[in-house]
């Protein structure tokens, strides 16, 4: 009897151990799965930010094909295609995302951005019009301003640029775009103010510096503005000023500025020298 009880206890102990082992295996699998999800999330973030754009696109293409129900992987693919300068390819991906139950207004804004990059302004306008007016984001208004610009609806463009600049802590790009819009309209003084505003938020934005010089040159202000610039940037801005002066038939002023660009550059400023020789010839 005692022997039978002992066998029963041993058997029950074995069952308990087996049960514990199974529970331990399940817990281990769950832990590993959690680690894999974290690792994958980190890898996705790396691919979307610092990874090579083409490699990132290939990665997300493969991952989204293997996991067709994962909307986050489709978004990663669409964003990677934009980074790889393939907006046309991204349009189809964004359209598929929007057509799914998980599509959002942010996805529609991203689609409009891709359409603008392919110069499909009409489709971009239709995409933005499909977004409720209550959806107010910086990116949405930035694109709305660009679409209004393309239609030469200056009143709307100014309104959208103004709203967009208030929805971000880094409005330098908005002010630069707004200034360029003013420049194309012939409002050179207004453009100059906006380019200066852009530089107060990002003193290193060379595009704004170059545009500022163009706006001043259009007003026949041929001296460099008081802004932060490197020696190389100074030479390049003098070169821009010189060409703008020549274009406005202020040839002698232009020649002086081009010569100053050549003298200023710490390296051989070939473009300025060629232009100067052409004028003298």
Give 109's pLDDT tier (boundaries 50, 70, 90): very high
Instruction: Work out the pLDDT band at 8, boundaries 50, 70, 90.
Output: very low
Q: Is residue 244 part of a domain?
A: yes
Q: How many residues does the chain have?
A: 281
Question: For the stretch 177-195, what's the b/e string if a residue is b when 16 or more beta carbons lie within 10 angstroms of its beta carbon?
Answer: bbbbbbbeeebbebbbbbb
pLDDT band at 114 (very low <50, low <70, confident <90, very high): very high
Confidence of residue 280 (pLDDT cuts 50, 70, 90): confident
Q: Is residue 110 part of a domain?
A: no
So what's the pLDDT on residue 40? 57
Per-residue tokens: 59:
């990665």
Judged by DSSP in three states, 136 sits in coil
Phi, psi of 269 (to 5 degrees): -90, 85
Residue 246 has pLDDT above 70, yes or no: yes
> What pLDDT digit, counting tens, does each position of 45-96 carry?
777 776 688 998 998 899 899 999 999 999 999 999 999 999 999 999 999 9
* 8-state DSSP, 225: P
Domain span at residue 236 reads: 229-281
Angle between helices 105-117 and 121-129 (to 10 degrees): 170
Instruction: Report yes or no on 56 lying in a domain.
Output: no
* CB-based contacts of 145, cutoff 8 Å, min separation 6: 156, 157, 160, 161, 164, 174, 177, 178, 181
What pLDDT does 38 receive? Answer: 38
Residue 139 lies in a domain: no
Helices (H), the chain: 2-49, 53-66, 71-83, 87-99, 105-117, 121-129, 138-150, 154-165, 172-185, 188-201, 206-218, 231-247, 251-264, 270-280
Query: For residue range 183-220, what is the model confidence (pLDDT) as tens digits?
Result: 999 999 999 999 999 999 999 999 999 999 999 999 99
Count of beta carbons in the 10 Å neighbourhood of residue 173: 18
Q: Is residue 256 part of a domain?
A: yes
279 inside domain: yes
pLDDT higher for 236 or 32?
Answer: 236
User: Tokens for 101?
Assistant: 């139950």
In 3D space, the residue among 77, 152, 90, 79 whose CA is nearest the CA of residue 121 turns out to be 152
Q: Is residue 236 part of a domain?
A: yes
Angle between helices 87-99 and 71-83 (to 10 degrees): 160
Best CA proximity match to 234, nearest among 224, 244, 243 = 224
Tokens representing 254? 């232009």
Q: What is the pLDDT of residues 139-165, one digit of tens each?
A: 999 999 999 999 999 999 999 999 999
Q: Is residue 278 part of a domain?
A: yes
User: Looking at residue 273, what is its pLDDT?
Assistant: 77
152 backbone φψ class: left, alpha, beta (φ>0; ψ -120 to 50): left
What's the pLDDT at 277?
79
Burial code of 135-152, b = ≥16 C-beta within 10 A, e = fewer?
A: eeebebbbbbbbbbbeee
Q: Which of 267, 266, 218 is nearest to 243 (CA)?
A: 218
Our count of domains for the chain comes to 1
- Where helices occur in 67-86 by DSSP H, the ranges are 71-83
Taking 50 as the threshold, does the pLDDT of residue 18 lie above it?
Answer: no
Rounded Cα–Cα distance for residues 138 and 97 (Å):
21
16 burial via Cβ count (<10 Å: 0-12, 13-18, 19+): exposed
Residue whose tokens read 């007003």: 219
């Amino acid at each position: 009897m005692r022997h039978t009880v002992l066998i029963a206890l041993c058997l029950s102990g074995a069952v308990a151990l087996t049960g514990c082992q199974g529970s331990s295996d399940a817990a281990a699998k769950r832990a590993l799965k959690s680690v894999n999800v974290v690792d994958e999330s980190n890898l996705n973030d790396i691919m979307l930010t610092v990874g090579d754009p083409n490699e990132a696109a290939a990665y997300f293409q493969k991952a989204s094909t293997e996991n067709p129900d994962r909307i986050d992987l489709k978004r990663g693919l669409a964003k990677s295609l934009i980074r790889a300068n393939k907006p046309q390819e991204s349009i189809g991906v964004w359209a598929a995302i929007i057509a799914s139950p998980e599509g959002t207004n942010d996805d529609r804004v991203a689609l409009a951005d891709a359409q603008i990059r392919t110069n499909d302004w009409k489709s971009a306008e239709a995409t933005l019009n499909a977004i409720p007016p209550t959806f107010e984001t910086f990116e949405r208004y930035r694109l709305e301003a660009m679409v209004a610009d393309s239609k030469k609806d200056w009143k709307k463009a100014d309104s959208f640029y103004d709203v967009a600049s208030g929805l971000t802590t880094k409005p330098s790009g908005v002010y630069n775009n707004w200034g360029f819009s003013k420049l194309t309209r012939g409002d050179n003084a207004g453009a100059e103010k906006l380019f200066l505003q852009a530089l107060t938020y990002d003193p290193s934005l060379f595009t704004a510096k170059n545009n500022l010089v163009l706006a001043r040159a259009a007003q026949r202000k041929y001296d460099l503005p008081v802004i932060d610039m490197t020696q190389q940037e100074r030479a390049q801005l003098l070169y821009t000023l010189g060409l703008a002066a020549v274009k406005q038939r202020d040839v002698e002023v232009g020649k002086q500025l081009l010569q100053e660009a050549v003298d200023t550059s710490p390296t051989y400023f070939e473009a300025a020298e060629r232009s100067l020789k052409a004028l003298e010839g």
